[in-house]
Structure 1
Amino acid sequence: MRTWTRAVPAAMGALALALALTGCNDLGSGKNRGGSGSQASGSGTNADEKKTFRLGEEGPEQESDMQKSSGAKYTVTPTEVRTGTKADMDNSGLRKDKEDGPQIPVYVWSTLTHKSGPAMEVGDMDDDLVIRADSGLRTRALLVMLGAAKWPNCPEPDTEKKLSPGQSEKICTAFLIPEGQKPTAVEVTRGFHNEPLEWPVAG
């Protein structure tokens, strides 16, 4: 199922409205997309294909399924994961609905590398990043719809920046998980027909 988590402005002087998409049965679809990744056409996953990596290890090439960058190939390399604090949440400019319960941010640093084909926007390359918590909860990146959320040492990436073959961009992405839980892996979803790639988080 899909659960929409809403955030309301913490103060009139720091307006921010955010949506976080969580759940475990629909994350393969990407944001408003029917599939993504190098095998999203439904050809299936090779049983011998490597799907688990160490943080800092580059994942396999993915192929864009966006019309404007059709045929472009890129890689995602999660490099660091850090769990934020309640103070980070309190100072972010966001206030969660009471029904969602207390939440804390998780920061994921990644390197996106354009390998070949037409130029791609950064926001299309990190679109399939997911954090898996120790409860089994899987959540996509926080999506700020109005205003901006502020996180320590995790600047908002320029999602509209275009990368050409050979270019890379280092970004930080913020996720929200329930307070008391811990991130166990970074995942890259690859449509309904392929298992996600994963980078386990130590500790």
Structure 2
Amino acid sequence: MLHSRTAWLRAAAPVAALALALTACGGKKGAAEPSTGSGSAGGTNSADAAPQTGAEPTRTAGGGAQRPGQSGTGQYKEESGKTTYDVVAQKVHIGTEDETKKMVQDPANAKGLIAATAYVKFTNKGPGVVKGLAKVDDGAEIYADGQRGGLLIAAPADLPGCEDPIDIDNWQVGESHVICRTYMIPEGAKALEVRWSDEGATKPLVWKFDGAGRAE
């Protein structure tokens, strides 16, 4: 089955540099970049997820700050209907300069910026199967020192630890997937946040990380 977003992503790849230029840090939500597409970056600087204690992390409904490893509950409007998800930002990978240059068509567009990738785990809580292309990852954003980063569309989505939504079909209730989103942020940013919300939500779920991508 050929998903509509598959064709869009392939078409978007040649214009990644343009999208980056239009979505520089500090842009407002709903700025020039399309809201679809997801990406990831891997490497040696990734921060591990919060240590597991054996107990299931406490879930919270609605928005607000989450503790490291804690999942929050929210809803997202998929093509097959409104779906409830448990959501947890597991870690943030801060790319190297070389990794960042490989992700953009023109390295000059990345001057002063670095790629940061949020690893977000989503668990389908129902009421039914998510059919077709899941879009729940579209709600994930990275903020650096209080400013939203620039979404890097057409970033690679097939690196270790990240799943490509295009490959997820008939997402069953109780099933979990880790989907990644890559943003360009100012190099040397001190405080990072991964935020997730449904479109139109007034209070997102928020996970805090330091400038090295370590959970706070």
Whether TM-score is above 0.5 comes out as yes
Q: 2:191 and 2:164 mapped to 1: Cα distance?
A: 21
Secondary structure of the residue aligned to 2:72 is coil
How do residues 61-76 of structure 1 correspond to structure 2 at under 5 angstroms? 62-66=74-78, 68-76=79-87
Bigger mean CA offset, 116-125 vs 80-89? 116-125
**1:166 and 2:144 equivalent?**
no
Q: Which structure shows the bigger proportion of residues in strand conformation?
A: 1
Report if the CA contact (8 A) 1:88-1:151 is conserved. no
Q: 1:49 and 1:109 mapped to 2: Cα distance?
A: 20
Q: How far did 1:158 drift? A: 3.2
Gap change, CA 1:74 and 1:127, over 3 Å in 2: same
Q: Which runs of 5+ in 2 are unaligned?
A: 1-12, 37-60, 212-216
Secondary structure of the residue aligned to 2:99 is helix
Report if the CA contact (8 A) 2:95-2:115 is conserved. yes
Q: How far did 1:124 drift? A: 1.0
Q: How far did 1:23 drift? A: 4.2
Q: How far did 1:16 drift? A: 4.2
Q: What TM-score does the superposition give when structure 2 sets the normalisation length? A: 0.62
Q: How far did 1:184 drift? A: 1.5
What corresponds to 2:124 in structure 1?
114
Report if the CA contact (8 A) 2:97-2:114 is conserved. yes
**1:57 and 2:67 equivalent?**
no
Report if the CA contact (8 A) 2:119-2:162 is conserved. no
Letter in 2 for 1:180: G
Between the aligned residues of both structures, percent identity stands at: 23
Bigger mean CA offset, 174-183 vs 160-169? 174-183
Q: 1:81 aligns with which of 92, 99, 110?
A: 92
Q: What TM-score does the superposition give when structure 1 sets the normalisation length? A: 0.65
Q: Which runs of 5+ in 1 are unaligned?
A: 1-14, 33-47
Gap change, CA 1:201 and 1:183, over 3 Å in 2: same
Secondary structure of the residue aligned to 1:64 is strand
What corresponds to 1:26 in structure 2?
29
Q: 1:140 and 1:76 mapped to 2: Cα distance?
A: 22
Q: How far did 1:196 drift? A: 1.6
Report if the CA contact (8 A) 2:62-2:203 is conserved. no
Q: 1:193 and 1:73 mapped to 2: Cα distance?
A: 14
Q: How far did 1:173 drift? A: 2.6
Equivalences, count: 166
Q: How far did 1:188 drift? A: 0.9
Q: How far did 1:129 drift? A: 0.4
Q: 1:90 and 1:140 mapped to 2: Cα distance?
A: 15
What corresponds to 2:15 in structure 1?
17
What corresponds to 1:44 in structure 2?
none
Secondary structure of the residue aligned to 1:90 is helix
What corresponds to 2:41 in structure 1?
none
Q: 1:133 and 1:75 mapped to 2: Cα distance?
A: 24
Gap change, CA 1:168 and 1:97, over 3 Å in 2: same
Report if the CA contact (8 A) 1:129-1:187 is conserved. yes
Secondary structure of the residue aligned to 1:91 is helix
Secondary structure of the residue aligned to 2:66 is coil
Q: Which structure shows the bigger proportion of residues in helix conformation?
A: 2
Q: What are the superposed Cα offsets for residues 140-185 of structure 1, whole Å, 9 maximum, x if unpaired?
A: 64211xxx64897465623351311111112333221122324511
